[in-house]
Amino acid sequence: MRNQQMRAIDVIERCKTTQGLQEAIEAICDIYEVSHATYHATSVHKLTDHGDYGLTTYNKMWVRRYLDKQYGLIDPVVAASFKGFIPIDWRALDFSGRPCEEFLGEAREFSITPYGMTFPIRGMSGEHALFSINSDSHPQSWNKFLQENRADFMLLAHYFHQRVREIEIGGGETCFQELSPREKDVIYWLSRGKTFEDVADILFITKRTVRAHSESIRHKLGAVNTAHAVAKAISYGMVSSL
């Protein structure tokens, strides 16, 4: 695992309070040299008792304008996040139409560029959350950044969400079944960014067997997908020597 991801995970692990989470999201921006990062949970009546829950590095005036004008109702990023788990490249979305054009125009006033990516999260209690990053880099630099770091943020998004749960509702989901030795091998290599094919080659087993172990791991840890399972395994201390 690269040094950046190790540092980011360490920052998240050390969070004890909501203020600590805010400091962590700011630190992640510094570690990866991105302009902004945002964590936003919706359906949070299933996560906390106080409405939508958000942490961001954006200018407070922009956040207030976004909320006051209810831009979340027309923001294509928010709409796309409800449709699946795949990371959303903002440049691939349709921002046409007068409401979206007004929204983009105001975003530009706060130097918010279209170079962003959002990672949708589904919690086990039904909550829906987003983890987004945004950069003011040039297109080629942003493409290179995504190629090198997208897998990192797929893990960090779920890991951050897990930490929010633990802090906001006290302990989160800590009940799980023990993994078998082979399942521990599989989750270890998945945590290092390896694909199912890679893990199969490393462990001298078939891709189908790796997939079966992954499904078993997700079931035992109560995870919604592989990235969530990796985040939980790290959180529970199941993955060592990172």
Cα(36)–Cα(25) distance, rounded to whole angstroms?
A: 9
Is 146:31 a contact under the CB 8 Å cutoff? no
Determine, yes or no, domain membership for 186.
yes
pLDDT, greater one: 116 or 125:
116
| The predicted structure's pLDDT at residue 46 | 46
Q: Does any domain span residue 45?
A: yes
118, 137, 169 - which closes a domain: 169
Same domain, 205 and 104: no
14 and 63 share a domain?
yes
Q: Is the residue at 241 inside a domain?
A: no
The verdict on 144 and 193 lying in the same domain is: no
d(CA 138, CA 149) in angstroms, rounded, equals 16
Exposed/middle/buried for residue 72 (C-beta within 10 Å: 0-12, 13-18, 19+): middle
Continuous segment of H or E residues that includes residue 106:
helix 98-109
Residue 174 lies in a domain: no
pLDDT tens column, 4-62: 988 998 899 899 898 999 999 999 999 999 999 999 987 544 444 445 678 999 999 99
Q: Which residues contact 184 (CB under 8 A, 6 or more apart)?
A: 238
Closest CA to 109 of 67, 56, 61, 174: 61
Same-domain status, 156 and 189: no
Considering only CA atoms, which of 104, 134, 106, 105 is closest in space to residue 119? 134
**CATH assignment of the domain containing 95:** 3.30.450.80
Task: Looking at the structure, tell me whether residues 40 and 157 fall in a common domain.
Answer: yes
- In this structure, are 90 and 141 located in the same domain? yes
pLDDT in tens, 66-110: 999 999 999 999 999 988 888 999 999 999 999 999 999 999 999
Domain co-membership, 85 together with 22: yes
Q: 3-state DSSP call for residue 177?
A: coil
Contact status, residue 29 vs residue 36, Cβ threshold 8 Å: yes
Band of residue 166 on the pLDDT scale cut at 50, 70, 90 = confident
Question: Does one domain contain both 139 and 219?
Answer: no
* Same domain membership, residue 188 and residue 101: no
**Which segments within the chain are labelled E, that is strand?**
36-42, 53-56, 88-89, 116-122, 128-134
Closest among 115, 153, 112 to 137, alpha carbons compared: 115
Note whether 142 and 207 are same-domain residues.
no
The pLDDT tens digits of the residues spanning 207-227 come to 999 999 999 998 888 787 888
Helix (H, G, I), strand (E, B) or coil at 130: strand
33 within some domain = yes
Domain count, the chain: 2
pTM of the predicted model, to two decimals? 0.76
- Structural domain of residue 8, as residue ranges? 3-169
